[in-house]
Amino acid sequence: MTLSLSATAKPLPEYSIRKPISLCSNGLIIPASTAVRSFPVAKSYFPLALDSRLVLYGGAVNFSHRFCGLKFWILEKLNFHKCNRNCKWGNELKKLKIQGIDQLPEHLKTPSSCEGKVPEELSVLGLRNDLTEETTEPVSQIDDSSIPENQLGVTNNRVESPSPLPLYDRHNGRLPSLSIAVIGATGELARNKIFPALFALYYSGFLPENVGIFGYSRKNLTDEDLRSTIASTLTCRIDHQQNCGDKMNAFLSRTYYLNGGYNNREGMLKLSALMEQTEGESEANRIFYLSVPQEALLDVASSLADNAQTLKGWNRIIIEKPFGFDAQSSYMLTQSLLSKFEEKQIYRIDHLLGKNLIENLTVLRFSNLVFEPLWSRTYIRNVQVILSEDWAMETRGRYFDGYGIIRDIVHSHIFQTMALFAMEPPISLNGEDIRNEKVKVLRSTRKLELGDIVLGQYKASSAEKVDVYMNTLTPTFFAAALYIDNARWDGVPFLIKAGMGLIKHRMEIRIQFHNVPGNLYRERIGHNINLATNELILRDIPDEAILVKVNNKIPGLGLQLDASELNLLYKDKYNVEVPDSYEHLLLDVVDGDNHLFMRSDELAAAWNILTPVLHEIDENKIAPELYEFGGRGPVGAYYLGAKHGVQWADD
């Protein structure tokens, strides 16, 4: 850095300021070098604390009379309040994701015993607000070009948080409250998935202690009724069950119920008033989970936007799939939502995208040099995305009969998986940067035609109760061959398969590589060269694993080859309980991480691929091919693979 003193400038290296400055009697330490870099300095004025014994090396000693009161200047600038011992900042820190930094620098850590108001300049280190952005003023006459960009989260004069730390309320020293409302609280999804996921986050310390959980529906219930309903669904982590009962009681005591009635406007006004009672005067953030039928979505969302949003923090809404019926209906739905909310407030959730398999896609590719060079048409022959269920749709019959497997699973989960797999490297792990790359993949994908798809439906069986709500044209199986027309993937078939009532519950991605040109061991391999194909398998179900299929010599005399799997089996390697996908995605919403949620342009691009073939299916009333419940699916899927030179690897 360079300190400007009138007309004379003297460069000072970082090591020229040695002694850290104590700003808190019980432990908050900020080195002087950090203070110099972090806070605005008036032009031609750089005070020096006489009692700090800052030593200037080089020829700058004759300027020492210009450097007085550095410590007191910082104290005044920070308006730092006296600390006490009950602060628990450490408990509020979410484990940092891989963002090039594993933890905050030591000189910025605050001991867990220190409590009090956070200075305005430091609070921005934990600021991640959807409504406002805080920037620092330029530092006068200080050249910080030698300071790394990620130092202290400063980039281009803007202080950004390296991790989603909670905001502090500067008026009363409290953390901002978080209110989470579950609209449709008495439904099966809320009871079995949403409330248990919220409790798991609360128990593990990922929700603040002052969180408020609000159930909203039209049933005439009390707080105690809701608590007793969800209590049986709450469980503590198997791998750490300390204070389970106490935590559960604390969570239930912060759970409230409101009968919103049939007038959503009045109901949302009541909900907002109830939230304000628990939030008090502190800063307040709100999340609204809309677990409601599609026909009620817009009315609920509009009433919520007008009557239940807080003005003291950010607001986020979570919307369940399906996100429309085709391109036109999805566009109308999107425009209605965007008339009431900003894009950054909307989180379109698909629980299948909360699986570890999906997160591992980018980690495996971008953090391992051995894979990244292979990720293109040069080495990859085909990619298969497989999702098969061994159960029927009796529990979601009415919903599934209206939308089918294409609109329910393929449009969101399968296409998002393909986009994450095939995207170009994003410039960062920021959610918007990842979304930008995903949408490019979807826009480059060819529109589907009838010749590239196979529809199937398992045979009705009253004994299994699988045909209660379904009509004869609702597909329960879908297979397709997709092509991405860009330089990286030109000519590589992406085969997708999703089905219900199949022989096995399976969720995996298989990457098959080209055969070795001029293979010296062709005679040893035999006629079926495909058996010797190298594969990379990313599996979530039945057992989460990463598998690499390679050819090797069988031990013993002679030369016999075998195709073997090198495997990383998660249950053997990691002795931890895998969180439910709803936990993962709800935590992302709390933290403002939106990379696993579809943006409006992604939504439109995905519908553009499917809508033409969907209209053709509906207009021509194309009947799906029947297959046995518990079987391998329609025979047409095998012909589809053969047409594109691919053998389904899961068979």
Quote the Cα angle for 572-574-578, to 5°.
110
For residue 390, how many C-alpha atoms fall within 13 Å in the half-sphere facing its CB?
Answer: 8
Q: Which amino acid is at 521?
A: Y
97 is written with which tokens? 């994701």
Q: Please report the DSSP string for 152-171 in residue order.
A: GGEETTEE--SS-PPP--TT
The total of other beta-carbon atoms located within 10 Å of residue 318's CB is: 21
The total of other beta-carbon atoms located within 10 Å of residue 162's CB is: 20
Long-range CB contact pairs, 153-162, < 8 A, 24+: 153/125, 154/37, 154/38, 158/133, 159/124, 159/125, 159/127, 159/134, 159/135, 161/124, 161/125, 161/126, 161/127, 161/128, 162/96, 162/99, 162/101, 162/104
574 is written with which tokens? 């990691």
By DSSP bridging, strand 315-320 and strand 284-290 are parallel
For residue 509, how many C-alpha atoms fall within 13 Å in the half-sphere facing its CB?
Answer: 23
* Residue pair 189/580 in contact by the 8 Å Cβ criterion: no
Residue from 413, 514, 527, 584 carrying the catalytic annotation: 413
CA distance 357 to 271: 37
411 is catalytic: no
133 is written with which tokens? 């952005």
CA distance 321 to 326: 13
The total of other beta-carbon atoms located within 10 Å of residue 614's CB is: 19
Q: Which amino acid is at 532?
A: A
The total of other beta-carbon atoms located within 10 Å of residue 580's CB is: 16
- The set of residues, in sequence order, having a beta carbon less than 8 Å from that of 133 and lying 6+ positions away, is 158
CA distance 458 to 466: 9
**Rounded (to 5) percent helix, strand, coil in the chain:** 35, 20, 45
Q: Please report the DSSP string for 274-328 in residue order.
A: HHHHHHTTS-EEEEEEE---HHHHHHHHHHHHHHT--SSS-EEEEEESP--SSHH
Alpha carbon distance, N-terminus to C-terminus of the chain = 64
Dihedral, CA atoms, 227, 230, 232, 234, nearest 10 degrees? -110
CA distance 348 to 602: 11
Smallest Cα–Cα separation from 202: which of 166, 173, 178? 178
Q: What are phi and psi of 624, to 5 degrees?
A: -75, 155
Quote the Cα angle for 617-402-303, to 5°.
125
Q: Which amino acid is at 44?
A: S
Catalytic residues: 413
